[in-house]
Amino acid sequence: MDEILEILEKDGRATVEDISRMLRRKPEAVRKAIKKYEKDGIILSYKAVINKEMVKYKNSGVRALIEVNIIPQKDLGFDKIAERIYSFPDVSSCYLISGTYDLLLIIEGRDLHTVSKFVSEKLAPMENVRGVVTHFLLKKYKEDGMVLKQVQENERIPISY
């Protein structure tokens, strides 16, 4: 992968000037390369990795990993079904995977009920869906290469008599 992309992947806030200094290139060349990557759809967006457990507003929703077993469509394979599934706003990520299941989805919902309702009313009844397995995320330790600092609970001091 290009060095500019590697830098931006690690730090999306790196400026053109920062990158040009690191790579010993002219800022205009770096700016031009970034614009081309954006235009060509190589760079899709810039985002921050948020540790939602550290945010004061704890009601940040529920995430689930859902494995989906599907019957591929003749002449279309998995792509058309995957497209129908990832079109739902609840689906934040959709991957074709190897193994027992065909698709891995990351679903985000307001609460457990919202996610289970999506699975039971929208996903599972879909034509060509043979089965689903839902795993609710209980705690995140690392995301997108970033170790997430854990919220410090009030620790009780052991007392001995």
What does the pLDDT read at residue 154?
59
- Packing angle between helix 3-10 and helix 27-39, nearest 10 degrees? 80
* Model confidence pLDDT, tens digit, residues 99-146: 999 999 999 999 999 999 999 999 999 999 999 999 999 888 888 788
Closest residue by Cα to residue 130 from 109, 107, 100: 100
Q: Please give the structure tokens belonging to residue 142.
A: 């690392």
pTM of the predicted model as reported, rounded to 2 decimal places: 0.72
- Domain borders along the chain are 3-39, 53-139
Architecture of domain 53-139 in CATH? 2-Layer Sandwich (3.30)
